[in-house]
Structure 1
C-alpha cells in the first residue's frame, strides 16, 4: 500500500507518464488519480490550481529527469558525437520499452497546450531550454545545440509515428557531420 506522504509525488509522476503518452487533453484527472493510487479529494488539496498546475509540475519533473539523464550520458563520454549517439540510443530504448507510446516527455503536452496555457508553455520552454544547455555545454555552441536538440526531437516524433527507430538512427549517424566531425 502506498504511503500517504508520497501521494503528491505519485500523482505528479503518474501525470507525467500519462501526459507523455496521451497528451494533456486526453488525460483525465480521474485517470491520473486512479493510476496514481490517490484518493479523489487529494487532487485539489495538493494542486489547488487543478489540472494546469499538475501539468506544470509534471512537465517540470519530466524535464528535470531527462535533463539529468542527458547530462549523465554526455558526461560519461568525452567525444560529443559518441555521447550524443548514446543519448539518442537511450531515447530510442525508452520509446521501444513503451511500444512507441512515450516519445519526448514534453512534446505531447507542448503540442496540446502551448497556445492555450502560458504556465504550461513556460514549463515546456524551460524543459527544452535545460536540455539545450546540457547539450551546449558538451558541444560548445548554443546554436549548434539548438539544431541538435531539434533534430533529435524531430526524430523522436518521426520514430513514434512510424513505429520505427530508423529516424533516430539516421540522426545519430549524421551527428558527426552536424558537429563537423567524422562519423564514429
Structure 2
C-alpha cells in the first residue's frame, strides 16, 4: 500500500490535471477516485471535505507551480520565455491544457473561486516583482502586470478554443514590445 502522502499527492496531481482539462463540474468524483488510483474510502480519508476540498488544494498546488515557473522564466528569459513555455504546453497537450486555473475559475464555489483569485494574485505579484526589479514605479508595475496577466489569460483561452497558438504569440509580441518601453 502506498504511503499516505504519496496517495494524497496522486489525488492532487490527478485532480489538477482533470480540472485543468475539464473544469470542476465536468469532473466526477468517481473519475477523480479512479485517476487517483486508490479506493473511495482513501479519497475521503485524505480529503474529508470531499471534491471541493480536493479542488481547492489542487488549485493551490497548480497555482504555486505556475507562479514558480513564471518567476523562473521571467528571471531567466523575460516574457519571451514565458510565452514560449505556454505555447509549448498548449501544443504538447493538443490544446487541452492552457491556464491550470481557467476551467475551474468560474464553475466552483465561493471558496474555490477565492483559491483561484489568490493564485492569480500571486502570479500578478510575480510579474510586478519582475517589473519593479527593473525600477518600474510600483503602481505602474502593478498596472502593467494586471494588463499582462489579463492579456495572457485571454490569449490562452483563444488559443485553446481555436486550437492555434497564434493568439498567444500575438499577445506575446505585443507585451514584449510594450514592456520594452518600460524596462531596459
Question: TM-score, normalized by length of structure 1?
Answer: 0.90
Partner of 2:61: helix, strand, or coil? helix
1:124 matches 2:112:
no
Cα-to-partner distance string for 1:66-95 (whole Å, 9 max, x where unaligned): 000011111113xxxxx1121011111111
Q: What corresponds to 1:4 in structure 2? A: 3
Q: What corresponds to 1:167 in structure 2? A: 167
Cα-to-partner distance string for 1:82-109 (whole Å, 9 max, x where unaligned): x112101111111111110111000100
Partner of 2:44: helix, strand, or coil? helix
Q: From 75, 81, 93, give the equivalent of 1:86.
A: 81
Structure 1 CA distance, aligned partners of 2:46 and 2:167? Answer: 40
Structure 1 CA distance, aligned partners of 2:28 and 2:7? Answer: 17
Structure 1 CA distance, aligned partners of 2:146 and 2:127? Answer: 8
User: How much does 1:180 deviate?
Assistant: 4.9
After TM superposition, list the pairs within 5 Å mapping 1:1-184 onto structure 2.
3-5=2-4, 6-77=6-77, 83-113=78-108, 117-140=109-132, 141-181=141-181
User: How much does 1:175 deviate?
Assistant: 1.1
- Extract unaligned runs of 5+ from structure 2: 133-140
Mean alpha-carbon deviation: is it higher for 125-134 or for 169-178? 169-178
- Extract unaligned runs of 5+ from structure 1: 78-82
**Does the Cα contact within 8 Å between 2:106 and 2:113 map onto a contact in 1?**
no
Partner of 2:107: helix, strand, or coil? helix
Question: TM-score, normalized by length of structure 2?
Answer: 0.90
CA RMSD of aligned residues (A): 1.4
Which runs of 4 or more aligned residues in structure 1 lie more than 2 Å from their structure 2 counterparts after TM superposition? Answer: 2-5
Structure 1 CA distance, aligned partners of 2:85 and 2:97? Answer: 13
